[in-house]
Amino acid sequence: MKEKLLNNKVLVIGGIILIAAAMRLVPHYPNFTPIAAIALFGGAYLSDKRLAFLLPLVALFISDLVLGFHNTMIPVYACFALTVFIGMNLRNRVKPLTVAAGALGSSVVFFLVTNFALFYPGYYPANISGILMSYTAAIPFFHYSLAGDLFYSAVIFGAFELAKFKLPALAEVK
């Protein structure tokens, strides 16, 4: 019986992740996507660490198959893997404030890492001025990333909490 509940929980979590990932394929503001939220969510709720990393990253990869690949995929995927790790630190402490802090932290990590990655391949001069130019050019997009991470985290975590309320068996399995 417990194995069946675990499978149902993974199916519900996986379904939420895949539905949220599909939102990346509809028109949206730049960087206003659910990818960080699903990575945070997977880390927080999937007790199998392999699944916690695999489901969000596979969802990202599938959406990249549709949207196209880019030269900063490695740092982007690394950021989302770090976000899964942030989510793992939320386990058993999922509250609105901790989820918001996790979303904020993942937004900042994504901003710092991916914009440094844009500096690295030669888009900007190879000096401190180039790094500052890269970060400055990205500032107009940061608020979309942050807003998207906070919005989708609230929706995804909230949807699962509602599912646990409607299906108490989901809450019983750790």
127-151 pLDDT, tens digit each: 888 888 889 988 988 999 999 999 9
Q: What is the pLDDT of residue 78?
A: 94
What would the pLDDT profile of 85-95 be if each residue is shown by its tens digit? 999 999 989 99
Domain boundaries, the chain: 2-172
Please state the three-class secondary structure of the chain as a single string: CHHHHHHHHHHHHHHHHHHHHHHHHCCCCCCCCCHHHHHHHHHHHCCCHHHHHHHHHHHHHHHHHHHCCCCCHHHHHHHHHHHHHHHHCCCCCCCHHHHHHHHHHHHHHHHHHHHHHHHHHHHCCCCHHHHHHHHHHHHHHHHHHHHHHHHHHHHHHHHHHHHHHHCCHHHHCC
CATH code for residues 2-172: 1.10.1760
Q: What is the pLDDT of residue 172?
A: 63
Q: What is the pLDDT of residue 120?
A: 63
Q: What is the pLDDT of residue 44?
A: 95
**Which residue ranges in the chain fall short of pLDDT 50?**
1-5, 173-174
